Amino acid sequence: MTSRAAVIGLDGAAWHLLDPLIEAGLMPRLAALKAKGASGTMMSTVPTYTPPAWTSAATGVNPGRHGIYGFVEGHAQAEHQSLSHSGKVRSSTIWEMANAQGARAGIYNLPLTYPPQPLDGWMVSGMMTPGYGERQRGFASWGAPHQGSELEAKILEWAPGYVLDISANYEQDWRDEKLAISALDSIRQRKVVLERLLATDPPDVLFSVQEAPDRIQHVYYRYLDPSDVLYDTPEGRTIRPHVERCFAAMDEIIGLLDDWAGGVIVCSDHGFTAWEVTVHLNALLASWGYFSLRAGTRAMQSGAVRKLIPIAKRVLPRKFARGAKAKTFAAIDWSRTRAFASPIPQQGIYINLKGRDRFGIVEPSELAAMKADITERLLSASGPDGMPFVDRVWASEEVFHGQALEGAPDLLPVMRDHRFENSDEIFHTDPFSDVAHMPRGVHHPEGIVIVSGPGVKPGEHIEGHVQDVTPTLLYLAGLKVPEGLDGNVLTGAFENGHLESRPVEWTDPATSGGRDGSSPYSDEEEAMIEQSLRGLGYL
């Protein structure tokens, strides 16, 4: 028998930031869920970024099967790096799995669900949805019996000025509390809309995401971590109360969904940590003879020119800023470049492979040896403090498998405790930029998970992976789990007797509907979304 089950997604949430809020009494509903549920750490994907991670959570498979590796498709050789969107997902989704078993689905604010896909239920798209204010369009859809697009009008009636995604700029917003104030307004809108949706058209399965923790932590992280040296500073003490109000408002949403559902999963796509150093991978590769600029463009590597790059990102109009990076890639001498950095959210390295890449020069027979050499160099290299700065290097075949491998980087180095962030900028001669004086944060693979509902062992410690979210949600809803997923039901959260009386049941893999992979964005919309991604340091 189907019972209501919900995912309460908190983008970027980490226990070392949430636990102090719980202890201060600011998140009583999260505290209650943690007490009555099983909880622990949820590991993210490689790379540890929103697009692959939330897509894995909503499909139960690794990026090699769903095909989403970052916010854009393509790399420095692409004539145009197209934005990722829902039509690019190449595996079945939680709503398709639920619908196949006669259950209605509600999908709320999940990244990369634009344009909304047909379903039995409703969908309100999240990050990567175009439009602000009057420019908003196509962000919500209703299935039968409410067939049509009138859901958008309802949402704008319920929450006038509805914000599709909290816009943040990590270069500027750390200076004051304005981002936290605008985030609070958006969180309150989210609660109103969810409340109305659940009352108007309650689904059987709900998958919801709150993006606010990620945006806030990108900008203010070191003001929020009690162990950080910037925590007890005048700036930290000024900004933190505004941030705390945001988390208290999110706790009200947690309470709303916990009251509504019989079974609940609270989870994040990744955690967070302090951003200490930017690693310019192309500078490293150049020092090893793998990367080269055209002779006439090397003057761009001067310190004066490099200092202008972050300023240009802030002040250039969208139509100029979006083309600026593509033009800089024209400075690469592809005839002498054998390896190069991936776009920032992929956190990887591509080999310039003949027969695969547009300007490929590396023979396929050389690929394995080159990957081994770059891996060895990375692991033995020293950082700015003279210590190793690479924890490990994943080869793509170690972390990805499936039918959608063509977009994956060849190597994915994991920098020191994830506090070193990789960049694909090309005009740096020094491989390292120290950013430890700033309050900003970056992603860490250790996120959070709570499972609560019938048969759950209160206080039990569990470890999971984002791929486990979909099968566990289906189980909580009383539905069968499609065979062949990479993720598993988090059975460690449940009493043995419960699993014996209600064992996990299996069904045939769900089929994904025909998806339109062409871009749904106008040029203006692409520029607007790219500006938002640039503000977070992703482009």
pLDDT tens, 310-335? 544 444 444 444 455 566 788 999 99
Q: How far apart are CA 140 and CA 148, in angstroms?
A: 9
Helical spans, DSSP H, in 272-366: 281-287, 303-315, 318-329
Q: Which two tokens stand for residue 425?
A: 């900028």
| pLDDT tier for residue 300 given thresholds of 50, 70 and 90 | low
Does a structural domain hold residue 73?
A: no
Give me Rg for the CA atoms of the chain. Answer: 23
Is there a single domain that holds both residue 341 and residue 270? no
Q: How far apart are CA 306 and CA 407, in angstroms?
A: 29
Q: How far apart are CA 444 and CA 273, in angstroms?
A: 6
Is residue 119's pLDDT more than 50? yes
Q: How far apart are CA 472 and CA 478, in angstroms?
A: 10
Q: What is the pLDDT of residues 163-197, one digit of tens each?
A: 999 989 888 999 999 999 999 999 999 999 999 99
Does a structural domain hold residue 448?
A: yes
Query: What element of type H or E holds 227?
Result: none
Is there a single domain that holds both residue 258 and residue 291? no
Which residue matches tokens 């201060």? 24
CA angle 23–29–35, rounded 5-degree value: 70
Task: Give residues with Cβ within 8 angstroms of 432, minimum separation 6.
Answer: 277, 278, 279, 280, 383, 384
Is there a single domain that holds both residue 203 and residue 282? no
Q: How far apart are CA 119 and CA 207, in angstroms?
A: 13
Q: How many residues does the chain have?
A: 539
Is there a single domain that holds both residue 14 and residue 149? yes
Is there a single domain that holds both residue 159 and residue 190? yes
CATH number at residue 102: 3.40.720.10
For 125, other C-beta atoms within 10 Å of its C-beta total 26
Q: What is the pLDDT of residues 30-58, one digit of tens each?
A: 999 999 999 999 999 999 999 999 999 99
Q: What is the pLDDT of residues 242-291, one digit of tens each?
A: 999 999 999 999 999 999 999 999 999 999 999 999 999 999 999 999 99
CA angle 193–13–108, rounded 5-degree value: 25
Is residue 387's pLDDT more than 60? yes
Please give the tally of structural domains in the chain. Answer: 2
Is residue 514's pLDDT more than 90? no
Is there a single domain that holds both residue 145 and residue 231? yes
Does a structural domain hold residue 121?
A: yes
Does a structural domain hold residue 348?
A: yes
Q: How far apart are CA 293 and CA 328, in angstroms?
A: 10
Is there a single domain that holds both residue 315 and residue 336? yes
Q: Which two tokens stand for residue 149?
A: 């697009």
Percentage of residues of the chain with pLDDT beyond 70: 92
Is there a single domain that holds both residue 268 and residue 281? no
- Of 390 and 171, more confident: 390
**Which stretch of 14-28, 126-140, 149-163, 278-292 has the lowest confidence by average pLDDT?**
126-140
**Which stretch of 22-36, 99-113, 163-177, 352-366 has the lowest confidence by average pLDDT?**
163-177
pTM over 0.75: yes
DSSP code per residue over 414-436: EEGGG-EEEE--SS-SSSEEE-T
Residue 443 bridge partners (DSSP)? 272
Local structure of residue 509 (DSSP, 8 states): P
Is there a single domain that holds both residue 160 and residue 206? yes
Does a structural domain hold residue 83?
A: no
448 closest CA partner among 210, 246, 91, 184: 210
Q: What are phi and psi of 39, to 5 degrees?
A: -145, 165
Strand ranges in 117-224 using DSSP code E only, listed in sequence order: 121-125, 140-142, 205-210
Q: What is the pLDDT of residues 25-37, one digit of tens each?
A: 999 999 999 999 9
Is residue 93's pLDDT more than 70? yes
| pLDDT tier for residue 531 given thresholds of 50, 70 and 90 | confident
What Cα–Cα distance (Å) separates residue 494 from each residue in 10, 38, 531?
Answer: 23, 8, 44
Q: CA torsion, points 492, 493, 499, 505, in degrees to nearest 10?
A: -90
Is residue 158's pLDDT more than 50? yes
Contact status, residue 174 vs residue 439, Cβ threshold 8 Å = yes
Contact status, residue 165 vs residue 129, Cβ threshold 8 Å = yes
Contact status, residue 165 vs residue 139, Cβ threshold 8 Å = no
Does a structural domain hold residue 84?
A: no
Q: What is the pLDDT of residues 410-424, one digit of tens each?
A: 999 999 999 999 999
pLDDT of 325: 58
pLDDT of 150: 86
Distance from the Cα of residue 191 to its chain's centroid:
21
pLDDT of 305: 47
Is residue 432's pLDDT more than 70? yes
pLDDT of 148: 60
Distance from the Cα of residue 258 to its chain's centroid:
24
pLDDT of 313: 46
User: In which domain, by residue range, is 299 found?
Assistant: 277-437
CA angle 190–194–200, rounded 5-degree value: 145
Does a structural domain hold residue 453?
A: yes
Q: Which two tokens stand for residue 52?
A: 């692959």
Is there a single domain that holds both residue 446 and residue 316? no
Mean predicted lDDT score pLDDT of the chain: 92
Is there a single domain that holds both residue 185 and residue 331? no
Q: Which of 385, 418, 437 finishes a domain?
A: 437
pLDDT of 487: 98
Mean pLDDT of 222-233: 97
Is there a single domain that holds both residue 388 and residue 504? no
Q: Which long-range contacts (CB under 8 A, 24 or more apart) does 331-336 make?
A: 331/293, 331/294, 331/297, 331/300, 331/426, 331/427, 332/76, 332/291, 332/292, 332/293, 332/294, 332/426, 333/292, 333/293, 333/294, 333/295, 334/77, 334/359, 334/361, 335/359, 335/361, 336/292
pLDDT of 339: 98
pLDDT of 330: 87
pLDDT of 302: 47
| pLDDT tier for residue 1 given thresholds of 50, 70 and 90 | low
Does a structural domain hold residue 11?
A: yes
321-333 as b/e, with b when 16 or more CB fall inside 10 Å? bbeebeebbebbe
